[in-house]
A and B are shown apart, each in its own frame.
Chain A
Amino acid sequence: KEDEGSKDEL
């Protein structure tokens, strides 16, 4: 995924 922003979410 280009945008890793959502991966820090649970």
Chain B
Amino acid sequence: MNIFRLAGDLSHLLAIILLLIKIWKTRSCAGISGKSQILFAVVYVSRYLDLVTTFISLYNTLMKLVFITSSFATLYLMYVKFKATYDHNHDSFRIEFLLLPCFVLALLINASFTPLEVLWTFSIYLEAVAILPQLFLVSKTGEAESITSHYLFALGSYRALYLLNWIYRYYAEGHYDLIAIFAGAIQTILYCDFFYLYITKVLKGKKLQLPA
């Protein structure tokens, strides 16, 4: 554990909390992509299957449980409790176009061809692109509430901080995982346009509105 890794995890945790607070306080999931949230739930479940096979640390176990539980809580709020506020019409991204290629890629490029390893790799590839339905929704509606922007910023920062963690680990421990690094770089790149808008608009007190 190094400072970048810890900051990344805390940023990830903050993102999830912000999202739950937004939905709970406003009693609405308007502007949030249910498709992205489904993909994140798939990511956590397929990645954290090792919860039942390997014990790494209490921190590791607790965080995994928090991520899985909170993603299902989010889905429950969106698809059951506040279903009426869910923006069906704008959330039209076809997630099979992400799920299938990621699965095929995981079958082809992985560290070892075992069920757990393929699913872990699948989750890494899927996480890299899971935010696309959300970014698509923001681009369709042309704007995002400020708390949704904070959520996206925290979520994007998390993998960017992991990239610093991997650079640090490469030099400090000689450890690197090309699959995670490659996917993490793609994931971070997808947020760049959003990061730019967040810094130039939201941090200056303006609403995130895309140029027409």
**Residues of A with Cβ closer than 8 Å to B?**
1-3, 5-10
Contacts and interface: CB of A to CB of B under 8 A. Distances in A.
A1 B111 contact: yes
Interface string B1-39: 000010001001000000000000000000000000000
Chain B interface bracket (under 10, 10 to 19, 20 to 34, 35 or more): 20 to 34
Nearest to B50: A7
Interface string B132-172: 00000000000000000000000000000010010001000
Interface in B19-72: 50, 54, 56-57, 60, 63-64, 67
Contact of A7 (B9, B12, B56, B173): B56
Contact of B60 (A1, A2, A3, A10): A10
Nearest to B175: A5
Contacts of A10: 9, 12, 60, 63-64, 67
Nearest to A8: B56
Given A10-B64, A10-B67, A5 B177 contact: yes
Contacts of A9: 5, 162, 165, 180
Interface of B: 5, 9, 12, 50, 54, 56-57, 60, 63-64, 67, 111-112, 117, 120, 162, 165, 169, 173, 175, 177, 180
Nearest to B169: A5
A4 B204 CA distance: 43
A9 to B, nearest CB: 7
B184 to A, nearest CB: 10
B57 to A, nearest CB: 7
A10 B144 CA distance: 28
A8 B117 contact: no
B117 to A, nearest CB: 6
Contacts of B5: 9
